[in-house]
Amino acid sequence: MGREFTRISTTALCVLLFTVSAAAGDWTVWGGANRDFIVNSARLADSWPADGPKKLWSRPLGDGYSAIAEEGGVLYTAFRRGSKDVVIALDASTGKTRWEYEYENPFANAYSDGAGPGPYAMPQVVGDRVITASGTAKIHSLDKKSGKPVWSHNLYSEFGGTQLQFGYSCHGLPYKDTLIYLSGGSGTGAVAFRQSDGAVVWKALEFTNAHSSPLLIDVDGQPQVVALTANTVVGFSPDKGTLLWTHEHPTPYGLAVSTPVSAPGNLLFVASAYGEGARVLQLSQSGGRTTVKELWYDIHLQLHFGTAIQREGVVYFSSGYDGPVFMTAVELKTGKVLWRDRGFAKAQLVYADGKIILADQDGTLALCKASPQKFEVLSKASVLQSIAWTPPTLAGTRLYLRDRKTIVAFDLAR
């Protein structure tokens, strides 16, 4: 018990030291404060009326799937206006526009008519900046109060990054005074920019990039960045970009999208779709050398682009991508499927106050309880239209959602 508590505490301390610090209730970076879609919110309602939780406001918004950041009563997201990407700051209480920054970013793919041309990445709040990435891998650092640009880079033209047919969607990882982006390419697989002025602090590694975002973990006292690429899972130093380990995970078409999930005991859950499935790796480190052991692999556990929630050694996620989809609970150490539930379409998840908030692609919002023994739906309502692929944002008791036309705010308080 004592040793396990020390290990968990060390990991938590690493996260606190090396990621963006945010006030209680803020949602500034991808996945929330710890990048795990687990929120320290309390006193959420245990059920909702038949038509859903209390709606605070809604307003039209352009196309796109960018998640919504929140800090100090201001929301940040991005959408499409013609051939331009637009980054927008909104008043969290009313939904009214505070500022916009738009730039030319023509982009289309084979599925643009049906799925839309993006943008896909969430504008992240890092210090006094809003950092955003376009579907064509243009990185912009904006002043968060005014929206004025401070610096920018293009990962494709400047660094030879992997040109992703379905759109760049990586969320940069804040670390100390840098921002680490996955790029792909030879010697430029990952690039660390200085947050203040965009100067390149280091560039390193060689891999084919995918759509996933990097995660900072602690392996026996050593900070590591883990990334799910098109063909491998890699671990590298956040200080220099030095490769620490690699493990095969080849996803067809390079469409690895979901963010890796870290768990106590140096466990790492990675999953994708298109026939690749999920695996859990166990890491150990001594003297700077990391050993990787695969505990299990299951081709049938496929996670497309949704979020996965880890609680007490069990991972909960929406499994499937083209056909039947099941809410699924899997024991991390063994790969044992504890239960499946076929009540929702492909879904995104957030965990808070002992409950899972589920938003599926058909626009259904649900409040659920999940344990290793069972899955229980407490309330659900249709609140958006298809295709609603954007993960929910929970700041305090306020929930923010969007689909390809609308952004909406709810109050989930008791």
Tens-digit pLDDT profile for residues 330-359: 999 999 999 999 999 999 999 999 999 999
- What pLDDT score does 111 carry? 72
pLDDT at residue 7 is higher than 60 = no
Return the percentage of the chain with pLDDT > 90, whole number: 89
Q: Are 242 and 204 in contact (CB under 8 A)?
A: yes
Mean pLDDT computed over 211-216 = 98
- What pLDDT score does 38 carry? 97
CA angle 100, 106, 112 (to 5 degrees): 105
pLDDT at residue 1 is higher than 60 = no
* Rounded Cα gap, residues 355 and 370, in angstroms: 7
- Spatial strand order of the sheet with 398-402 comes to 54-60, 406-411, 398-402, 393-395
Least Cα distance to 414 among 397, 393, 395 occurs for: 397
120, β-bridge pairs: none
CB-based contacts of 95, cutoff 8 Å, min separation 6: 57, 58, 59, 407, 409
In order, the DSSP letters of 105-128 are: -----TTHHHH-----SPPEEETT
| Range with lowest mean pLDDT among 12-21, 200-209, 331-340, 397-406 | 12-21
- What pLDDT score does 15 carry? 41
pLDDT at residue 326 is higher than 80 = yes
Mean pLDDT computed over 188-211 = 98
* Rounded Cα gap, residues 39 and 29, in angstroms: 12
Domains annotated for the chain, with CATH where assigned, are 2-411 (2.130.10.10)
| Side-chain half-sphere exposure of 293, counting CA atoms within 13 A | 10
Q: What is the pLDDT of residues 363-394, one digit of tens each?
A: 999 999 999 999 999 999 999 998 999 999 99
Q: What is the pLDDT of residues 266-275, one digit of tens each?
A: 999 999 999 9
pLDDT tier at 112, thresholds 50, 70, 90: low
CA dist 89 to 26, 106, 174, 213, 410, Å?
15, 22, 20, 23, 18
- Spatial strand order of the sheet with 215-219 comes to 215-219, 222-228, 232-236, 243-248
- What pLDDT score does 20 carry? 40
pLDDT at residue 6 is higher than 90 = no
* Rounded Cα gap, residues 10 and 317, in angstroms: 26
Mean pLDDT computed over 57-75 = 97
- What pLDDT score does 23 carry? 52
CB-based contacts of 40, cutoff 8 Å, min separation 6: 24, 25, 33, 352
CA angle 180, 247, 210 (to 5 degrees): 45
Extract the tokens encoding 96. 């009214």
pLDDT at residue 212 is higher than 80 = yes
